[in-house]
Amino acid sequence: MIDPIPGFSKLTKEEKIQWLGRTYLAGNTDAENILKQYWNPDSRLQQLHEEFTENTLSNYYLPFGLAPNFLINGERMAIPMAIEESSVIAAASKAAKFWGKHGGFKAEVLGTRKIGQVHFMFNGKKNKLQDFFRKVKPELLEAVEPLTKNMKKRGGGVVNLELRDKTELLGGYHQLHGTFETKDSMGANFINSCLERFAETFKAEAGKYEAFSPSEKEIEIVMSILSNYVPDCLVRAEVSCPVEELADHGMSGEDFAAKFVRAIKIAEAEPYRAVTHNKGIMNGIDAVVLATGNDFRAVEAGIHAYASKDGRYTSLTHADVRNGEFRFWMEIPLALGTVGGLTGLHPLSRIALEILQKPSAEELMKIVAVAGLAQNFAAVRSLITTGIQQGHMKMHLMNILNQLNANSKEKELLVTHFKTHNVSHSAVEEQLDKLRS
């Protein structure tokens, strides 16, 4: 059994790597060199990366690419994407090209409010708790004035604060349920700071409230934390065109639209399909969220919760045909920021936001939603025409060649060969063996 190591965080980066090599990578003579080759030669930039998180050993790079030719609300844009999966950027670009000829994408923000909660336990009389909250609410809002001063100047702040009874779910459980507007920042630190101040004031005032019995004064604050479920921070993206303009791969526009709508209806009805369907949407969304220095894990959690809001996991996108017009749309919750966090610290995030012409948080919500809708259109289009593997495996070809250690000449010849042949790992391996023999 490996002994625990005390004070690991106090070791230098070199010492951490050496310990790792001795303890877990003793058989890998290249491990140290591999870790070090991803260090940035600019020591200042390397230090910046190391200060993003803890116990850093190296940098883990993802490709930073560009999907051009998006027409969004009449404006031509190129969208930066950070992702390692083959065919995602190509598919998004293809969808952008198609819809650029058919009116482009329309996007609008439906709401920007975010949620935070103080979770607490109270086992006294509910009517007394309600009376206490009504009395103390102005003091709670006053207590966060120093924290909200600057946010208010930007048009944000605390929008509302409610007392919520959750005792039907858990005995004694109540909430202070806060609604916040954070403008161009994602606002996690702002919201959490306000919540902790609410909790401190609420508990202190409860201890002095004369109508409470001694036991009722002992309110237990369990935790104070924002929610990544933001159903009132919504954005809608959509495309539409006359059905006849959808003719594709020998299919009439009417047939294409019918098959496309049917595929979406299946994703709406069948959770097993919906999960994969929505994962494809997130390919586009996560790539832009990551490129712009936002929290893709928070976005994922909130969006998937939204997909289950009616009690069953379902498709995020929807489609129909009305009066000869094809419509394809999506409404999703997106809590994003363009100031604060990594957005102003990571050099590539700054570049990404510059590419997007320094958008506001609301503008970024629209762009990210469009990227997800474009990705889903491209995926469903492939599924109902050529099948998903034909295009995906063509893009995956280079990964297979790299796994097989093909040299540059072999790659060149095999890329040409597989322009007219089906790609599979075994087929590539067989063809590479033929070349080498």
Active site residues: 85, 279, 295, 392
Pinpoint the alpha helices (H) of 292-360.
296-307, 347-355
Q: Which residue has the tokens 């996108």?
A: 317
Q: Which H/E stretch holds residue 106?
A: strand 106-109
Nearest to 320 by CA among 267, 264, 244: 264
74 alpha-carbon distance from chain centroid: 25
CA distance 253 to 304: 32
> Angle of helix 188-206 relative to helix 145-153, nearest 10 degrees?
150
Per-residue CA distances from 407 to 34, 402, 404 (Å): 20, 8, 9
Q: Which residue has the tokens 């237990």?
A: 220
Q: What is the DSSP letter of 110?
A: -
CA distance 335 to 106: 19
DSSP string, 130-177: HHHHHHHHHHHHHHTHHHHHHHHHTT-EEEEEEEEE-TTTSTTEEEEE
Asked whether the beta carbons of 340 and 192 are under 8 A apart, the reply is no
Asked whether the beta carbons of 391 and 382 are under 8 A apart, the reply is yes
Q: How many CA atoms lie within 13 A of 161 on its CB side?
A: 24
Query: Which residues contact residue 414 at a Cβ distance below 8 angstroms, ignoring those fewer than 6 apart?
Result: 397, 401, 406, 428, 431, 432, 435
Q: Which H/E stretch holds residue 50?
A: helix 43-50
| Long-range interactions of 96-100: CB distance < 8 A, separation 24+ | 96/67, 96/68, 96/69, 96/70, 96/71, 96/374, 97/69, 98/377, 99/71, 99/239, 99/241, 99/374, 99/377, 100/69, 100/70, 100/71, 100/76
Dihedral sign, CA of 283, 286, 289, 291?
Answer: negative
Entry field: residues in the chain? 437
CA distance 107 to 60: 33
Nearest to 177 by CA among 145, 211, 202, 154: 202
